[in-house]
A and B are shown apart, each in its own frame.
Chain A
Amino acid sequence: MILKRNSPFLIPAIVLGIYMIYSLGPIFWLVLSSLKSRQDLFTLPPKLFFTPDLSGYEAVFGIGAAKDSAAAIGLVQSLYNSIIVSIAGTALATILGTLAGYACSRFRFVGRDDFMFFALSTRMIPPTAVLVFYHVMFAKMGLSDTVSGLIIVTTFINLGLATWIMKGFFDGVPTAVESIAKVNGYSRFYAFRKFVLPMVRGGIAATAGFCFIFAWNEFAFSSILSTTKAKTLPVRLSSAMGSTGIEWTQICAAGVVLIVPVAIFFYLIRRHILMGMTFGVLGKAGH
């Protein structure tokens, strides 16, 4: 649709345009910068056309010329950490959240509603408020600066949300599905595995997508619980910025690498995002 000059939507359209520049501008700048060489990066006015320089990406992925440089090794290690922590944390949170969500949807137990509230509240707590406690606890358990430690934290961070979303999807599956199986001589577990789980496939995918994005972006806990070896990519990036001799190209390339999976997952679960915002009624609206 082309907006006429005197359309009542003209001003909102302009505002939206500005908002898009505001939100997409930095990403555009980031992508451009990640492809520039050191010299091109700091020319004024900024160059829009230049010969792409892939050295930043080579450093992040640890390939090509940057393979052996110390900075590159740090980046590769942190990318690797991020991938492991996010995938393992997402898998654990999704599996446990699916089971817990099913229990909360189907079983009446003492304190169920309190549990549901508690589960969600774990996501609302400002991480900085409890960081010190985690720091001490992890140090005592020998989990400081380990990937397994970060996996545990990531799982717990996402478990509450995963439980909530999955409960919503299970609420959307009629209890008759299990009742029918039971009166026909099958166990509840059989019905869960054979009938209920396939019905909430989409929900599981959406939950995993949410969890992955949160795990991938997680900064507060990782920054305090990983000091050297276990640093994730966001942590590594932020610490690089404080030091001298900043490799801007590498940082920008790492930034792009951080954004891409989020963009992909967000696109994949976009159907569920709006529904996800109204926790609990998710499943009913879903199918």
Chain B
Amino acid sequence: MARVEIRDLRVHFGDVIAVDGVNLDVEDGEFVVFLGPSGCGKTTTLRCVAGLESPTSGEILFDGKTVTQLDSMNRNVAMVFQFISLYPHLTVRQNIAFPLKARRLPKAVIEEKIQWVSRIFDLAEILDLRPGRLPPGARQKAALARSVVRDPNVLLLDEPLSAIDEQFREEMRWELRHLQKELGVTSIYVTHDQREAMSLADRIVLMNEGKIVQVGAPAELFNDPTNQFSGFFIGSPAMNFVRARRKGEKAALAEGAATIALPDNVMQLMGDQEVLLGIRPQHVATIDREAEFGCVRTTPSQVNSVGREHWFDFQLGDTTIKGMSQSRVAQGTGEIIARLDVEHLHVFDLKGERLRGEDRS
């Protein structure tokens, strides 16, 4: 297990800039998840750490020692790939023994290690089968077993669960998280699924267009997005955004489709410019009597109840705002009062950068 440092990493493929100046420290034993939309450079960054891609510039360090020039075979990294990780013509046992044989370990030691990891991953029954006959879940389990069987410096996982059925994936995630902590192996996990990232990560590294947007614990990213992209990408359903501008004591929303009273700190942030207000659906509710701040009289355009969650939409001009109420919202009953929880209101400039007060940073 090692501490992994990525220093000013850049990767260009011809004119395409896949990774554009990434800096990151991954602590020993930490579980870091790279999250971002397709093509943002997650896989490329991971492959640089593995030594499978050579950076255009920048450095990779393991435990403070540079490995940038080191070939992948000498880095002692383990990697689980998106689709195929196992050799189809070798049995699960031979696949797991593969990295051990590379180190010329004695037969007895290899056998012992295979027994150990097969107990952890519950592989006893499939050890002598070829991967082709196994369901994707069992295949990835075996791939995970192979990757941890030899104390790698770092475990790299590139969307390892994406080929697995939704229902089984949940279980695998839980197991993976548990194992990672138990074995204490430094891990970097790539996904574009924010729910997966939220449930696995010690820290999420949110990326977009080759750059890191925000790094932090899942709750930090959820509660404190640094820009509009971060607010939008994390959380489901996605954060609502609506344009706002000061109008006397209050604020006009969506070019004057509604006015709303906001507390002083928000009004100060807004100043005299037009801004974007961001609020998660979980923080938009219905109430019976108008409160001091954040209330809008409106009629719901859509309602949809999922279990105990009662979702509703309403229109502010062209903008649709989604909210979640504790009680059922009946459609077509006319006016409701929607309340935006101003504690959780984020203010962004029109470029999408978060505006913050002096006191809370």
Contact = CB atoms under 8 A, between A and B. Distances in A.
A185 B81 contact: no
Contacts of A182: 50-52, 71-73
A184 B52 CA distance: 12
A184 B99 contact: yes
A54 B74 CA distance: 66
A179 B87 contact: no
Contacts of B73: 181-187
B52 A179 contact: yes
A176 B81 contact: yes
B85 A180 contact: yes
Of A176, A180, A187, chain B has the most CB atoms within 10 Å of the CB of: A180
Interface in B156-170: 156
B87 A183 contact: no
Interface residues of B, number: 24
A50 interface: no
Given A185-B103, A195-B87, A180 B76 contact: no
B84 interface: yes
B296 interface: no
A183 B84 contact: no
A126 B146 CA distance: 55
Interface string B115-152: 00000000000000000000000000000001000000
Contacts of A176: 81, 83-85
B229 interface: no
Contacts of B99: 184-185
A183 B102 contact: no
Interface string B50-68: 1110000000000000000
B4 interface: no
Interface in A145-190: 174, 176-177, 179-187
Given A174-B84, A185-B73, A187-B73, A179 B79 contact: yes
B79 A183 contact: yes
Contacts of A185: 73-74, 76, 99, 102-103
Contacts of B11: none
Contacts of A183: 50-52, 72-73, 75, 77-79, 156
Nearest to A184: B99
Contacts of B50: 179, 182-183
A187 B70 CA distance: 12
A180 B72 contact: no
B98 interface: yes
Contacts of A184: 73, 78, 98-99, 102, 146
Contact of B81 (A180, A187, A195): A180
A105 to B, nearest CB: 16
Contacts of B102: 184-186
Nearest to B84: A176
Nearest to A183: B79
A176 B72 CA distance: 13
B351 to A, nearest CB: 36
Given A180-B87, A183-B51, A185-B102, 11 more contacts: A176-B81, A176-B84, A176-B85, A179-B50, A183-B52, A183-B75, A183-B78, A184-B73, A184-B98, A185-B76, A185-B99
21 contacts: A176-B84, A179-B50, A179-B52, A179-B81, A180-B79, A180-B81, A180-B85, A180-B87, A183-B52, A183-B72, A183-B73, A183-B75, A183-B77, A183-B156, A184-B98, A184-B102, A185-B73, A185-B74, A185-B76, A185-B99, A186-B102
